């Protein structure tokens, strides 16, 4: 498992943060997705070899929730 921190730049709604967390946790290959609204960060564990696919799906899902949010990988 890879631990990833994704900055959700432009996230300005706690309800949207909860939606992002739920959506991220449903993506195949993601475990333990958690959004901290105060820091605008998504913490998640991704299966080895699945990061590229997970990021693509995550970007699509987040864009549907809030089209102004930009994803940036922190680590």
- In this predicted structure, what is the pLDDT of residue 74? 85
Handedness of CA 37, 38, 41, 47 (dihedral sign): negative
Render pLDDT for 22-55 as a digit per residue (tens, 0 to 9): 999 999 999 999 999 999 999 999 999 999 999 9
The DSSP secondary-structure symbol of 27 reads S
- In this predicted structure, what is the pLDDT of residue 75? 59
Domains of the chain: 2-73 (3.30.70.100)
Q: How many angstroms separate the CA atoms of 75 and 16, rounded? A: 23
| Mean of all residue pLDDT scores within the chain | 95
């Amino acid at each position: 498992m890879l631990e990833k921190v994704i900055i959700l730049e432009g996230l300005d709604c706690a309800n949207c943060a909860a939606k992002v967390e739920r959506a991220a946790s449903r993506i195949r290959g993601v475990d333990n997705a958690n959004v901290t609204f105060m820091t605008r960060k998504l913490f998640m564990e991704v299966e080895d070899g699945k990061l590229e696919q997970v990021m693509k799906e995550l970007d699509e899902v987040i864009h549907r929730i809030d089209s102004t949010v930009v994803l940036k990988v922190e680590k």
